[in-house]
Amino acid sequence: MKIFKSIKWRLQLWYGLILVLVLSGFGFTAYELEKNRQFRRLNDELHQRVVVLSAALRRQSPRGPNAVRPLSGQSPRRQNREEPPPEELLDGSFPSRNSPGQMPRPPFHFSLPPEAAHLFGGADPNGYYYSIRSRDGREIAGSIDAPSLLKMPQRGDAQTIDPSPKPLSPPDASPPRVQVSGNLREICELLPSGEEIRVGCSAAPELRELRRTALSLAAVGGLILLVGLAVGGWLVSRSLRPLSGISAAAVRIAAGDLSQRIPLAGTESELGQLATVLNATFARLESAFAQQRQFAADAAHELRTPVAVILTQTQTSLAREREAASYRQTVEACQRAAQRMRTLIESLLALARFDAGQEVLKRLRFDLAKTVGDCAGLVQPLADERGVKISVEVESLEIAGDPERLAQVVTNLLTNAIQYNQTEGDVRVSLKLENGLAVLAVADTGQGIAAKDLPRVFGRFYRADASRTGAGNTGLGLAIAKAIVEAHGGTIEVASAEGAGTTFTVQLPAMA
């Protein structure tokens, strides 16, 4: 289903499941605690009544439970010589093995003390009742309205009864036992003398209270669940709202509007950081497309001139018959235009390879000072033609790289320094080691470059002014030089001021 593929609904479902588990665990724990509290209180009430009945039973007994009374008409001496007299029970009866002439005493009658009368019967909703039985199973006393009691346990029977607090009865009595049957809850205690005291009550009020507690917990849990799901849904929607902005901006950008950006509500969150990264990516994408458009336009403009020259010359020559010298001039003009086109195309291909990372550079160890000296000698005729003096101050420095490509960089910088210098100007070339870097500086005494144009000096097809447009100048030399230097892990910078000349500085990693 589509709903389960949504991040929002999946988060909502997991949040709801966790909330249900937490509420269920809390409700079950609260119910069990309340249940234990209710039955513990009920057990305490039963224990209290057992203690009261046990104390009253001991007080009302005419003699101790193990007391012995001699038969009438017999002296103690005779009694001692013959079999021991029968043991008198707590209720006044005697065992059935009485000797002839023995008269059983009247049965013992137990009466509930007045101070304990309020503990049984009455208007109490639990309806407490009791029963007292002798050791032979006869009931001595009991509540009139007592319900049918549970089966009396026999001595030695295993009792698997639910837990109860410590007995409140005297320490010489057996531990009390709690028995449950339906709504009835009874506690039974066997006295040392053999009598049994049973006290019971109805647990119906407590069970009704527990049912109300369970319903209350379920209602409160359901309400909390609904509120939690609503608040969770709102939080999830609010948290995922930036994703909608990201998607909308991506759709607009895909439609061609590269100026679109993702609105940033907060940059500290993960989505805010993602939006920041995407905005930076979109900005670079827009810049790349703008450069591509500008590059295509500039390339077309640069190629249009030599193509126009070739077409014009050929059309003029074909318009009518001409002399051989005229045809020669036409061919030479077309050759110069084609040469310019080839230079431009080669430069464009070189930049394309550098941009794609496909340009393969040699990694040779060579002396950069020697390369600089060779390049200075190569451009010396151009300097002599313009009356520019070249001074070279270099020290031997070995680097690892492509000697031909780096020679192209040095030659380009020297050519620009000569071409855009003033007549009888100077060009100073220096090479030295600074902080593990080979630092090459080429300075001229020309008119300099305006501050507003410095950031665009290394741009493709860029010329600061018309004075920097010379024969064979395509406007790609510095762009190619920068690509070569950066491919060697170095940097190239420019510093200039109008009327004070220009200085290009190249830094390359030097060999140890």
Q: Among 332-346, 353-367, 466-480, name the one with the lowest average pLDDT.
A: 466-480
Res 73 pLDDT > 50: no
Res 68 pLDDT > 80: no
What does the alpha-carbon distance between residue 58 and residue 131 come to, in Å, rounded to a whole number?
Answer: 15
**Secondary structure (3-state) at 61:** coil
Q: Among 314-318, 357-361, 493-497, name the one with the lowest average pLDDT.
A: 357-361
Helix or strand run (H / E) with residue 180: strand 177-181
Assess contact for 440 and 410: CB atoms under 8 A. Answer: yes
DSSP-assigned letters across all residues of 137-167: S-EEEE-TT--PPPPPPPTT--------PPP
CATH code 3.10.180.10 for 361-509: no
What does the alpha-carbon distance between residue 309 and residue 306 come to, in Å, rounded to a whole number?
Answer: 5
Q: Give percent of the chain with pLDDT exceeding 70.
A: 79
Taking CA atoms, 324 is separated from 107, 228, 317, 321, 336, in Å, by: 164, 97, 11, 10, 18
Most confident of 112-126, 201-215, 315-329: 201-215
Read off the pLDDT band of 460 (50, 70, 90): confident
Q: What pLDDT score does 93 carry?
A: 41
User: Which fold is adopted by the domain 270-354?
Assistant: Helix Hairpins (1.10.287)
Q: What is the pTM of this model?
A: 0.48
pLDDT, one tens digit per residue, over 473-510 is 667 788 888 989 998 999 999 998 887 889 999 999 98
Q: State the average pLDDT for the chain.
A: 78
What does the alpha-carbon distance between residue 183 and residue 201 come to, in Å, rounded to a whole number?
Answer: 8
What does the alpha-carbon distance between residue 63 and residue 263 come to, in Å, rounded to a whole number?
Answer: 98
Q: Span 241-265, mean pLDDT?
A: 78
Shortest CA distance to 456 belongs to which of 279, 291, 318, 345? 291
Q: Among 65-69, 264-268, 329-333, 363-367, name the one with the lowest average pLDDT.
A: 65-69
Show me where the domains of the chain are located: 270-354, 361-509
Residues in the chain: 512
What does the alpha-carbon distance between residue 227 and residue 223 come to, in Å, rounded to a whole number?
Answer: 6
Q: Among 142-151, 271-280, 323-332, 382-391, name the one with the lowest average pLDDT.
A: 142-151
Read off the pLDDT band of 182 (50, 70, 90): confident
What does the alpha-carbon distance between residue 409 and residue 145 come to, in Å, rounded to a whole number?
Answer: 117
